Amino acid sequence: MQEIMKKTNVTLRKKKIANGKLSLYLDFYPPIQNAETNELTRREFLKLYLFDKPKDQLEKIANTESLQTAQLIQIRRQNELRKDDVYNEFEKEQLEIQRISRGSFLEYFKKIRDKKVGKNRLIWDTAIVHFEAFLKGNDLTFKEVTVTLIEDYKEYLLKAKNRKNNSSTIARNTALSYHNKLKTTLKNAYKEQKLRTDINAGIDSIKEQESQRNFLTLKEAKKLFSTPCPKRIVHQISKFSVLTGLRYSDIAKLTWEEIMFIEDDGYYIRFKQKKTEGLQTIPISNEAYEILAEKAQPVKTGKVFFDLKKWDVDRALPVWIARAGIVKHITFHCFRHTYATLQIASGTDIFTVSKMMGHKSIKTTQIYTKIIDEKKREASQRITLK
């Protein structure tokens, strides 16, 4: 790019437009990189105009002033493109900072989004839709990104309407998710030196609203797994989730290539979490591996639960829960909550549980300790001598 910039010539040109005027623009040859779009361009329109046929002295003077301004801009651009010869190292650095600061932060946000896949990509899509609505259709350069602006966006999210149901605001935890997408982008932009200050560090996240996390007690879990299930595959993956804490999405995509055995240590699963995209290695119990062994084919390749279909879970799980006499509202994700709650209740420290669950923050895992404390409080009230 430096070679292209050194050889680029800047020519001032005119283009006829309506109302008997000429638009002044710069012609770059070879083309240069546009600071906002990062695409090669030949033209820069200066928003300066000449009267094609000036009628009086005032129009002639206006033409002279516009032409002189355009010529000064032409000289400045030519010097910028030849800055290796004109400026010292500090000046070059400052010019590069200015160039980057004029770039589009919104386009950068979208480029980060484009690297995402699946359901996560859809969440990023909606996060950007809300950010564009907040900007009211305007673009945003890196130099315009401030702590105040992002704080204002946080307030916007907490009051924003649900795009599916315009009569209600989006849930607080949904707003948190959208806000975190922007914070991730700010963090990346600072890391890549597109932002001169770490704006992300100066912004507090939206506080998570604790949601109801239903789970099975050990007694209920044993009762459920001793109850016949309409679909064998549903029984298998549900038990596997309770024994490992894995989400449905990670169980569904689990392959034999992700299962390892280490002599004198046991079985491990090394996989990339679908939700967080984080690489995780967790040990699994022999009981959990026995479930996998039931699915073994002559050649252990491809998906372990090859015959798994989401609709089987949706149909069979409620029937199975009812057969077991469990009146709680239990979804498949509740098995992950069950794993965490039973681990903490059995004495496993919170840091180990957090690692096993693949949580990015210990705060997420602490929710389960609160559940245990509530159960202890309930138990303390059961004995009375009155």
Domain CATH number, residue 299:
1.10.443.10
Same domain, 374 and 240: yes
Same domain, 34 and 114: no
Which tokens go with 196? 């001169």
End residue of a domain, out of 52, 78, 101: 101
- Note the pLDDT of residue 375: 62
344 in Cβ contact with 247 (< 8 Å): no
β-pair partners for 43: 27
Residue 369 lies in a domain: yes
131 in Cβ contact with 153 (< 8 Å): yes
Same domain, 12 and 140: no
Residue 212 lies in a domain: no
- Note the pLDDT of residue 2: 41
- Note the pLDDT of residue 325: 94
Same domain, 243 and 372: yes
| Triad 259, 341, 269: Cα angle to 5° | 5
Same domain, 188 and 239: no
107 in Cβ contact with 29 (< 8 Å): no
Same domain, 158 and 256: no
- Note the pLDDT of residue 208: 72
At 45, which helix (H) or strand (E)? strand 40-51
CA distance linking residue 59 with residue 65, whole number of Å: 10
Say what the pTM is: 0.50
| Structural domain count, the chain | 3
Range of the domain at 82: 2-101
Residue 257 lies in a domain: yes
Same domain, 307 and 172: no
β-pair partners for 260: 268
β-pair partners for 271: 280
Same domain, 188 and 232: no
Residue 210 lies in a domain: no
Residue 133 lies in a domain: yes
Residue 207 lies in a domain: no
Residue 386 lies in a domain: no
* Side-chain half-sphere exposure of 4, counting CA atoms within 13 A: 10
Same domain, 325 and 229: yes
Question: 195: which residues sit within 8 A by CB, 6+ positions away?
Answer: 142, 145, 186, 189
End residue of a domain, out of 101, 128, 156: 101
123 in Cβ contact with 177 (< 8 Å): yes
Strands 279-284 and 266-272: antiparallel
Same domain, 303 and 354: yes
CA distance linking residue 326 with residue 220, whole number of Å: 7
Residue 385 lies in a domain: no
CA distance linking residue 101 with residue 231, whole number of Å: 58
- Note the pLDDT of residue 143: 87
CA distance linking residue 191 with residue 210, whole number of Å: 32
Same domain, 117 and 95: no
End residue of a domain, out of 101, 135, 156: 101
The pLDDT tens digits along the chain (386 residues) read: 344 445 688 999 999 998 899 999 999 988 887 766 678 889 999 989 999 999 998 889 889 999 999 999 998 888 877 765 555 666 666 767 777 788 889 999 999 999 988 878 899 999 999 999 999 988 899 888 899 999 999 999 998 888 777 668 888 888 999 999 999 999 999 998 888 888 888 888 888 765 567 889 889 999 999 999 999 999 999 999 999 999 898 899 999 998 988 888 889 888 777 666 667 888 889 999 999 988 887 777 889 999 999 999 999 999 999 999 999 889 999 999 899 888 888 888 888 888 888 877 777 777 777 666 666 566 556 555 55
Same domain, 147 and 256: no
- Note the pLDDT of residue 36: 65
